[in-house]
Amino acid sequence: MSIKITLAGPRGKMGSEALQMIQDEPNFTLVACIDRKHDGKLMKDINTLPDLNVPIFTDPEECFKQISTDVLLDLTVPDVCYRHARLALMHNVRPVVGTTGFTDDELEQLKQLATEHQIGGIIAPNFATGAILMMKFAQLAAKFFPDVEIIEKHHDQKLDAPSGTAIKTSELIRQVREDKVQGHPDEYETIERARGANVDGLHIHSLRLPGLVAHQEVIFGSPGQTLSIKHDSLNRQSFMDGAKLAIHQVIELNELVYGLENIPYFNES
């Protein structure tokens, strides 16, 4: 069965990679794009987009009314992705959202809507399969090594710190790690924030530099040994295997899942 996909954000950096991924996957068919520019045109009319007879819509509701779609892949901006995902669910289109920045309240509302419509959805702040494994390995290691610090490094255009992946990693670690305040009990900072962000005694350090993409190292220490678990996204292609996997998996779901690590594929033995 071919999966019919509408892509929101085709001119973006992630959107461009996704266009290639969709065209390369034999079971995927791109049926429409949602873009705030070029309403009513075909992709082939825009010289920066591929030469395809695929219509462009600015209004997502109009798109879902006119074009039969199985999955919405959203790679846009936080301001609009909630509305896109909500409209998709209301039109029985499964959202796969890579856009970051949902609030807890928005996530809860989308979960409820997916359950009401008995339809799947995936919101994945990190599509890199290696990053998901890095988080899972870190959670496993934290059972044995309660002393741990996280260093995340991103390009200097990133607005939020720490990264969503670092926060998620710390949450997974805190689920299994014994409560502990790390470092010397009397330690103090001579320069503010020298020890990074402190989440229940676990420290997260954020670096922002041009040239970086998305990188994270989780370092565990115990007497006489350290263990480092490290993942590097070297370019945006690194996110496409996970996006492809999410599109295949969302067809099987009848609820909204937050985090690629929670889809069945990563939890089957």
Which residue bears the tokens 């103090």? Answer: 188
Does 259 interact with ligand NAP (rule: CB under 6 A)? no
Kindly name the residue from 111, 136, 158, 203 that is annotated as catalytic: 158
Q: Which of 50, 55, 53, 21 is nearest to 35 (CA)?
A: 55
Q: Does 208 bind ligand NAP (CB under 6 A)?
A: no
The whole-angstrom separation of Cα 31 and Cα 56 is 9
Q: Work out the angle at residue 110's Cα, subtended by the Cα atoms of residues 16 and 249, and round it to the nearest 5 degrees.
A: 55
Q: Is 12 in the site for ligand NAP (CB under 6 A)?
A: yes
Q: Which stretch binds ligand NAP (CB under 6 A): 12-20, 24-32, 142-150, 193-201?
A: 12-20
Q: Are 41 and 35 in contact (CB under 8 A)?
A: no
**Does residue 154 carry a catalytic annotation?**
yes
Whole-angstrom Cα distance, residue 63 to residue 34? 8
148 or 247, CB closer to ligand NAP?
247
* 3-class DSSP assignment, residue 217: strand
Site for ligand NAP in 58-97 (CB under 6 A): 75-77, 79-80
Nearer residue to ligand NAP within complex by CB, 114 or 243: 243
**The one catalytic residue among 154, 205, 215, 231:** 154
244 is known as an active-site residue: no
| Alpha-carbon gap, residue 53 to 34, rounded angstroms | 14
Q: Give the active site residues.
A: 154, 158
Binding site residues, ligand NAP, CB under 6 A: 9, 11-15, 35-37, 75-77, 79-80, 98-100, 124-128, 239
